[in-house]
Structure 1
Amino acid sequence: MTTKISFQNVSKSFELTSQNAFVALQNLNLDIEDGEFITVVGPSGCGKSTAMNIAAGLTAPSSGQVLVDDVTVRGPGPERGVIFQQYALFPWLTVRENVEFGLKIAGLPKEERRRIADHFIALVGLTDFSDSLPKTLSGGMKQRCAIARAYAVNPKILLMDEPFGALDALTRVQLQDQLLTMWSKERRTVMFITHDVDEAVYLASRVVVMAARPGRLYKIIPVDLPFPRTEEVRLSPEFAELRNQVWRAVYHPASH
């Protein structure tokens, strides 16, 4: 396997006062393989989002570096798509126009933009809402639009920061399945931040457990469950055992 993202001794501190600093992340070393789906879970303040923001190029590390394809990350790049918990759609643009936005910026002709956008809109099940504005969509539909927009510009990496955190339980499960279906077809490298232990196990090939104060890597738990993931997998004894293993790691005293 080829390493796609490499965190190398990454630390990040935020200055609170001239005398005081908050260590959000300390000496994180983590390699994510090309095409791998990893989830990152841990208590509040463990540096999950900070690590993702550094990988996205949205903030710089205080020390260490993140490499993508052996190149140091120094800012955002088109090879990294970012999806946040907030939907971040342009409210004045339709679903199709939102999905086409990055393609338009890239200078693709109108016909090509539409073909690509319609493909990913269909993949997330929003074809009937292509001409709708975001205000007419449910929360789950908005997030599906955001996922389609991220995929449309053909990033090699998807960085997802609790994208389903604001959704109801049923919609969340449906979008987990839809995301895995897209991942199996498009096979991007995914780093997915979550607070939900069940979600972390269900989606991932490996679960990265972080510890807090300071934020640091605590444990990596391989998820030896078959893809595609199904309801039977979710209800299996093997899933329950892995969930309990991750749960114990997340809430172990050493992780706080």
Structure 2
Amino acid sequence: MSTDLDRADPAPGRADAKISFRDVVRTFPMKGGEFTALDRVSLDVGEREFVTVVGPSGCGKSTLLNLAAGLVEPTSGEVLVDGRRVAGPGPERGVIFQQYALFPWLTVRGNVEFGLKLTSLAADERRRRAEQAIDLVGLSDFADALPKTLSGGMKQRCAIARAYAVDPEVLLMDEPFGALDALTRVQLQDQLLDTWSRRKRTVVFITHDVDEAVYLARRVVVMAARPGRIHRIIDVDLPYPRTEELRLSPEFARIRNEVWHSVYHQTPAGSAA
């Protein structure tokens, strides 16, 4: 039995699904009973698709991502990657969190190369892949720098490079830009899309920021809370590459307002529509 992905029956839904959530429920014990974080969530994310997930606090966004990462298991239902049931973490899924989780005693190169040391790659190949990933995120001039000398944005680029170095097929990103200032955040959004355009991967990106969700994604998944479930899925019919002009366009504003309304003007569970 695999430690990360197990075989499952072919998934229904879209034929190009890279990630599938099938009727997923996740509960957590709490005093006097249990808390339902996700309630019967079903979602397909296509091959090489960029999907963002937004919703009010407590809607289960991070739980959804942790299930795909294999960090937690569903209470019922299943999560599939390439038609195989997720049964734990695996190298085909890179995970990036808001906290950079860099080793302070290692350089940028050392941090990026660290994950590769868990593979059977020779030292020179590990170095080559690390250098390639560092160049991909624009940190070549800082490869020998320690994290304490880097800005917050540079630390997050290092974390992204570390994920890319192991060449994952899926990137799972949990509010990676949430702690950054507004200008740095916009710059890293553009950097991420540039990297994604060159190394197409399936991306699930969790965020609280509606503008960020629309700017990055092909589809925005809007979650509803208590219990967590999918409220709406909104297509972002805007071309790539995304630009500042596009961000300021009426069409962007229209989609942004549609997502905003879906997030912040939901009918509470159990209320009449």
Separation in 1, partners of 2:227, 2:208 = 18
CA contact (8 A) 2:224 2:266 kept: no
Deviation at 1:255, TM superposition (A): 5.9
Q: Secondary structure of the equivalent of 1:22?
A: strand
Separation in 2, partners of 1:191, 1:252 = 24
1:236 and 2:236 matched = no
Equivalenced residues, count: 255
Hey, what does 1:16 align to over in structure 2?
Answer: 30
1:113-132 superposed matches below 5 A: 113-132=126-145
Q: Secondary structure of the equivalent of 2:19?
A: strand
Residues 1:237 and 1:34: Cα distance change in structure 2 (over 3 Å): same
Structure 2 alignment gaps of length 5 or more: 1-14
What is the root-mean-square deviation of aligned Cα atoms in Å? 1.0
Separation in 1, partners of 2:122, 2:62 = 35
Q: Secondary structure of the equivalent of 2:239?
A: coil
Separation in 1, partners of 2:103, 2:83 = 34
Give the percent of matched residue pairs that are identical in Structure 1 and Structure 2.
Answer: 71
Match of 2:206 among 193, 198, 210: 193
1:214 and 2:231 matched = no
Deviation at 1:104, TM superposition (A): 1.6
Deviation at 1:254, TM superposition (A): 2.0
Hey, what does 2:11 align to over in structure 1?
Answer: none
User: What amino acid maps onto 2:233 in structure 1?
Assistant: I
1:7 and 2:53 matched = no
Separation in 1, partners of 2:95, 2:102 = 13
Q: Secondary structure of the equivalent of 1:195?
A: coil
Structure 1 alignment gaps of length 5 or more: none
Deviations 1:19-38, CA, capped at 9 Å, x for gaps: 31111100000000000000
1:111 and 2:127 matched = no
1:86 and 2:115 matched = no
TM-score by length of 2: 0.92
Deviations 1:118-155, CA, capped at 9 Å, x for gaps: 11111111111101111111110000000000000000
Separation in 1, partners of 2:134, 2:268 = 40
CA contact (8 A) 1:249 1:255 kept: no
Runs of 4+ in structure 1 off by over 3 angstroms are none
Match of 1:179 among 192, 195, 200: 192
Separation in 2, partners of 1:252, 1:235 = 24
Separation in 2, partners of 1:88, 1:41 = 23
CA contact (8 A) 1:26 1:216 kept: yes
Deviation at 1:175, TM superposition (A): 0.3
User: What amino acid maps onto 1:2 in structure 2?
Assistant: D
CA contact (8 A) 1:218 1:255 kept: no
Deviation at 1:107, TM superposition (A): 2.4
Which stretch of structure 1 is more off in the superposition, 132-141 or 215-224?
132-141
Deviation at 1:103, TM superposition (A): 1.3
CA contact (8 A) 2:69 2:88 kept: yes
CA contact (8 A) 1:210 1:255 kept: no
Match of 2:176 among 121, 145, 163: 163
